[in-house]
Amino acid sequence: MKFIIGIGGVTNGGKTTLTNRLIKALPNCCVVHQDDFFKPPDQIEVGEDGFKQWDVITALDMEAMLNTVRGWMENPVKFARSHGVGVPAVTKEEDPENQIHILIVEGFLLFNYRPLVDLLNKCYYITIPYEECKHRRSTRQYTVPDPPGLFDGHVWPMYLKHRKEMESCCLPIEYLDGLKTKDEIYNQVFEDIQNTLLNRL
């Protein structure tokens, strides 16, 4: 059985922290990070707000990301091994179809790209309020540091815009409160995934 989980949400909301814990806890679990699909800096346009447009869907090669997810769907075992994830061999008595394979797709703009959304079995979205988000973002060290005013001038407005678009699509998204402790968020999601998988078996 193949099962794809989408973990989206606001910048610095805790997506990667949650994803990393789930990978360790779930069987045969691989991950695809949206951040790995950013286009080169010279292909990122400067918008009317005066900033390079990193926080929009066109900054990402979503076609390549979609193809990566499809590659996993075609052969999760081969995908896992090529990404250094050990998958237990299936004995002759076992039916390979009964083996659960899980893919976590993680990123800040997952649910604004319909072809990808259509492949997801479960969607989670982490939210945190403006003040907390700005505080966390200011304490993070980025390879390319944020220019002054980027958060208020580009990052937060784009987050609000994309969230509104996403909500108007009426997707079955489960919202998570990013102000809860890491353990609370993890336990909530892990339990929900376990229950969903049990109901599908």
Give me the CATH number covering residue 146.
3.40.50.300
Give pLDDT, residue 18.
97
Give pLDDT, residue 145.
80
The total number of structural domains in the chain stands at 1
Tell me the pTM: 0.90
Stretch among 27-31, 91-95, 185-189, 191-195 having the lowest mean pLDDT: 91-95
Q: Range of 163's domain?
A: 2-88+95-199
As to burial, measured by CB atoms within 10 angstroms (0-12 exposed, 13-18 middle, 19+ buried), residue 146 is middle
**Which residues are bridge partners to 104 per DSSP?**
5, 31
Q: Find, among 21, 15, 4, 30, the residue nearest to 127 by Cα.
A: 15
Q: Find, among 37, 175, 154, 56, the residue nearest to 106 by Cα.
A: 37
Backbone phi, psi, residue 101, to 5°: -120, 130
Give the active site residue among 35, 95, 118, 192.
35
Tens of pLDDT, residues 48-89: 888 989 999 999 999 999 999 999 999 998 888 887 776 666
> Is 102 in contact with 69 (CB distance < 8 Å)?
no
Tens of pLDDT, residues 96-105: 566 899 999 9
61 as an active site residue: the answer is: no
Tens of pLDDT, residues 112-169: 999 999 999 999 999 999 999 999 999 887 777 888 899 999 999 999 999 999 988 7
Query: Concatenated DSSP letters for 83-100?
Result: TT---PPPPTTS-GGGS-
